[in-house]
């Protein structure tokens, strides 16, 4: 009987432990005891680049990566940049694969940050051979921290072809 009660208690404890660990999600960009501002900012920028820079022209999504933006800034980016970018990508039938991302500078002042990154991206195009090759992208991002969560509020970029 004691073995049965011990087994039940142990099983209950294990189920509760697994349930607790599964319900704890890691939120990207949140500053906490194990992640300082710089680490949280890098996490947001890397997640945005992974979501936004890896695409196939047939499946590109204009909202890719917007979950890392403030709501207002994300809507503005969607209207002013993302929709026309997707249209261009589909017209030129080109796909992109992020090959690398380097942080050149991160400047933090209280709840505001500016970030400069250099990406390495491989483009392939079915329409324009000038869009085939390795490109270096220069990204400039501004972020805002609200209640320990860093989010993107502005993004500008340009590309230079470095290899055919």
Nearest to 143 by CA among 78, 73, 81, 80: 73
User: What mean pLDDT comes out for the span 92-110?
Assistant: 96
Q: Is the dihedral of CA 137, 157, 78, 66 positive or negative?
A: positive
Per-residue pLDDT of 70-87, as tens digits, reads 999 999 999 998 889 899
- The backbone torsions φ and ψ at residue 75, rounded to the nearest 5 degrees and listed phi first, read -65, -40
- pLDDT cut 70: percent of the chain above it: 84
Does pLDDT of 148 surpass 80? yes
């Amino acid at each position: 009987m004691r073995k049965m009660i011990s087994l039940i208690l142990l099983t209950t404890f294990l189920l509760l432990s697994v349930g607790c660990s599964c319900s704890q999600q890691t939120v990207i960009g949140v500053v906490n005891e194990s992640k300082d501002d710089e680490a949280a900012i890098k996490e947001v920028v890397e997640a945005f680049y992974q979501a936004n820079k890896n695409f196939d022209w047939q499946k590109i999504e204009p909202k890719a990566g917007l979950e890392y933006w403030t709501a207002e800034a994300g809507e503005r980016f969607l209207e002013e940049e993302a929709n026309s970018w997707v249209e261009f990508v589909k017209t030129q039938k080109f796909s992109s694969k992020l090959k690398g991302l380097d942080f050149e500078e991160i400047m933090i002042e209280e709840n505001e940050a500016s970030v400069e990154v250099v990406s390495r991206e491989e483009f392939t195009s079915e329409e324009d051979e000038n869009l085939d090759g390795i490109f270096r992208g220069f990204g400039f991002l501004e972020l805002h921290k609200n209640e320990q969560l860093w989010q993107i509020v502005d993004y500008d970029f340009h590309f230079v072809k470095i290899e055919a």
